[in-house]
Amino acid sequence: MKKIKKGDDVVIIAGKDKGKRGTVLRVVNTDLVVIEGVNKVKKHERPNPSKGTTGGIVEMEKPIQISNVAIYNPATQKADRVGFKILEDKRKVRYFKSSGQLLDA
């Protein structure tokens, strides 16, 4: 089980976008995630008539290291660390380290 998953609300804790909040769009691999509205770059694309794309400058989100990202805790309105607990019904769930509140209900 991973500490950060697709759909999680996260805060950037290091880098050029430090302090920004966003939602995880996808997890690229074990150490890279793509976050909505963060680490935006402009890419020059060639037109491709077979795919139906027009050329030009496209703005897109690039992956960011997962170590530079922390889960957003809505109760404290700050970045928080994540831990794992095993419940009585043998389910493994994530929880906020600061408050002990469950992240996966």
Give dist(CA 27, CA 7) in Å, integer: 10
- Taking the C-alpha atoms of residue 74 and residue 100, their distance in angstroms, rounded to an integer, is 13
Indicate the DSSP class of residue 4.
S
**pTM of the predicted model as reported, rounded to 2 decimal places:** 0.84
d(CA 66, CA 3): 10
| Domain residue extents for the chain | 9-44+56-96
Which residues of the chain are under the pLDDT cut of 50?
none
CATH 1.10.1740.10 fits 9-44+56-96, yes or no: no
pLDDT of residue 38: 94
Closest residue by Cα to residue 67 from 13, 5, 27, 6: 13
What digits encode the pLDDT tens for the residues 31-58?
999 999 999 999 999 999 999 888 899 9
Paired tokens of 84? 């794992």
